[in-house]
Structure 1
């Protein structure tokens, strides 16, 4: 039995099977998701290797890295062999990946379609478990000059201050606005409140020669565009 337990140490494996060495010798792209996460935690438990443990963790989220990123440190620590330090390392790595997506989206600052708005904002609010309402401020060339979170609410809704939206628009010299909020429930159907605030902001902005160009409802994998559906 002791011989079997010893085999779970990564150091005892052949070099080809050791994640760190495999990355150094063959490059990061050849590693599986489980091997990459195993590098983060360094070791498994007395019954399984780091890679086997990470495969089990990934299996719990159907091998979906996006879902892995949603696990709390407490949920990660429920797995035998994952203590606080390892849970924090996994959570930090997942957050870095999410922020990287956000930075990549920032490089595409010209808004050309509802899809480009979705790609710009999905990394920021698409996977949240609460609702947030954001405003994207654009210049005459439809380039993003500013974006900000207007409000943050519970899963059932959020508050929108029309005066603050227009104040910010004047301060940054925006000529166009795009409204964006997420639906944690996953539904893409706009509520009556969504429609009302869209029209309220549109009418208020028109008096200042500022156009509300679109309002997007964003979920993790899809979006609804008021402009595309002729609801503006």
Structure 2
């Protein structure tokens, strides 16, 4: 069933325009984006399957294009492209906010931003948020990629990029594909090594955030920095 076959007061678009987006459920909003289902599976059933399969809208926002491909009804490129576009818009909107204000005025926004970039990667990635003197975001760069269990991180390269950005401070981040966000002893040792290297050029390490699907941990908040 398409949205056009529903009664007017049940159509997500008409409901949104009449009552505002907050009146729609997650499934209704997603159905509005998808527009149509497929033979034997209506658009609401497809939307609900996506919500269930990815553990809610937050999980869906962290999905990669290849994750979406396994959902029957999203095998074609058009709908996958639309969902990926929404994800990219969310990333850009959050980056714009972080560039416009002090990053740590909203620690949760930083965690969500890093989750959007790193949480669903199948291998470890190590990224650095470079910040100006007002703790506003200059750039986020993925510096190193590794295997499922190990990433080789080179302090010299991070120092070079910090100088190139004229950064005053940084937030370090990496993902744990295993799903746990608790830092290992190697994570703690690496953080101290990077703190020492960056201190030589007067760049502060403000935090090291570890992310996984649906979770994030700030080492600074845990007193581990």
1:1-232 equivalences under 5 Å are 8=1, 10-62=3-55, 64-69=56-61, 70=63, 72-76=67-71, 78-79=72-73, 82-84=74-76, 85-111=78-104, 117-232=110-225
Checking the alignment, whether the CA contact within 8 Å between 1:205 and 1:212 is kept in structure 2 is: yes
SS state of the match for residue 149, structure 1? strand
How many aligned residue pairs are there?
A: 221
Gaps of 5+ in 2: none
Distance 1:57 1:143 in 2: 35
Distance 1:104 1:93 in 2: 17
CA distance 1:129–1:112, change in 2 (3 Å):
same
Off by >4 Å, runs of 4+ in structure 1: 112-117
Question: Displacement, 1:48?
Answer: 4.5
Question: Displacement, 1:182?
Answer: 1.9
Question: Displacement, 1:16?
Answer: 0.9
Checking the alignment, whether the CA contact within 8 Å between 2:173 and 2:209 is kept in structure 1 is: yes
CA distance 1:10–1:105, change in 2 (3 Å):
same
CA distance 1:144–1:191, change in 2 (3 Å):
same
SS state of the match for residue 70, structure 2? helix
CA distance 1:102–1:114, change in 2 (3 Å):
closer
Checking the alignment, whether the CA contact within 8 Å between 1:101 and 1:123 is kept in structure 2 is: no
Distance 1:134 1:107 in 2: 20
TM-score when normalising by structure 2: 0.77
SS state of the match for residue 184, structure 1? coil
Cα RMSD for the two superposed structures: 3.1
TM-score when normalising by structure 1: 0.75
- The structure that has the greater radius of gyration is 1
Checking the alignment, whether the CA contact within 8 Å between 2:130 and 2:169 is kept in structure 1 is: yes
CA distance 1:11–1:180, change in 2 (3 Å):
closer
Question: Displacement, 1:112?
Answer: 5.5
Gaps of 5+ in 1: 1-7
